[in-house]
Structure 1
Amino acid sequence: MSYSVGQVSAFAGVTVRTLHHYDKAGLLSPSGRSHAGYRLYSEADLVRLQQILFYRELGFSLDQIAAIFKDPQTNAQQLRARQRQLNEEIARLQRLAEVAQRAIEVQQTGVVLTPQERFEVFGEVAFDLSYATEAELKWAHSNGQREAMARAAAHTKEDWRHLMTEAAAWRAELLAAFDEQEPGDGERAMDLAEEHRRHISRWFTPCPPDMHRRIADDYTADPRAFALVVPPSQQRPGLAAYLCQAVHANAARRTGGPGGTEEDG
């Protein structure tokens, strides 16, 4: 039995234009023609169309589908690779959904700040949403990240005011040490790094030296992370690397070596 382009379009759920495109691409050429020269599709053509639509639904390009048809032995390999990609995407979307849920929970805590109050509390420190989302995805399986989010959500307006005042005083000391060219691995810089570590533990989550190292590495790798500590208007060239050096030196001081660990205290 043969079917016209219009019939195939109707029951396959694709446009006539799409069928013509598949024909031009060499993926699906109708097996026959009517006496008037119109395209006619056979049962075998419909099976091939079903395969094309299956691969398209999985996200394969037309070139990839053509390669599969040319060498059917690559079919299983291609499907396994695509399955891995889809599983990774599903996991990423699941983590993103969890991030959205946490954001909803934070908004439901009742700590709502007007723009004026937000400036009074946070000043120039800006929370980049794209960085926050990426951090959530990066540390999604970290107990420390989950605890930090939970404690941040529970902070009252006064908690945030106290926290930010404490952070501003520490930041002023850090800038003074840097401007006075104190060595990044010197006592003064290491003491400031230790104060920063304890600040994180006090307000967000226990921060042992090894975790503090990873946090400091983010400061040098991503300007958005460092902007949470020092607003761009107060930054100096080399300041992020200076703080990172101080954190690593302090971690080594506390653990007895570069790779050592110690419980928070």
Structure 2
Amino acid sequence: MTDADGLTVGQVATALALTVRTLHHWDEVGLATPSLRTNAGYRLYTAADLERLHRIVVYREIGLGLEQIRAVLDEPEADVALALRGQRDEVTRHLGRLEQLRTGLDRMIEAHERGILLTAAEQAAIFGPEWNPDWPAMARRRYGDSVQWQQYAERSASRTPDQWHEVTAAMTDLDAELAAAMTAGDAPGSERADELVERHRAAVSGFFPVSRSMQVCLGRMYEADPSFTAHYDRLSPGLTSWLRRSIDASARAHGIDPETAAWE
């Protein structure tokens, strides 16, 4: 094609894999305007116009904005290499962000599959000798399709070993205070018991949101599951039952019938 010839907007759009709308926009903003016009008034792109369009497409594909492209093409003093280096630096920063995103996604996937992103040795050091490293896998098999498992996994994905230490220490302190309150004779429904029930719900909500109704269900599960019963009763005989009754009393005080409480 010579400058005496010309291509229509549709022909150029097809040749460069662009849309007619894009070419019209570039024409409107003065970035790439057809140089010829037919007797009927239709605009045509010359060979020189097409070369400019090729350069625009290349620069756009590497991420330059339209104003940057205009400067590179139209300003005689423009430092093209400098502009390209700047874009390269931006691409490098973007790749760094994408790498961080990929790492986060990998951790999220692993957390959904494993529950806790700690080695067996780290789990033993953080959670203590009672901890069974098979428990997360067992929990996933049992609850993996639940919303709560998804919430638990997503929070787990962002937790560091130090943060797990903090969570475990808070739970250990709470367990000790539960045992101390029962031993001191604080009855379910007392001010002290109600305070500890609220702390228990807040602590468990660190893994997934727990409503009062759900907490009632947890109390029932503690009594029914031998591993939970053994854990609490080892701290103080009868603590599992005391905690369940305290949770029930708190629920009643908030208008919830423990007998009809459901997992939400």
| TM-score, length basis structure 2 | 0.49
Higher relative contact order (CA 8 A, sep 6+): 1
| TM-score, length basis structure 1 | 0.49
Structure possessing the higher radius of gyration over alpha carbons: 2
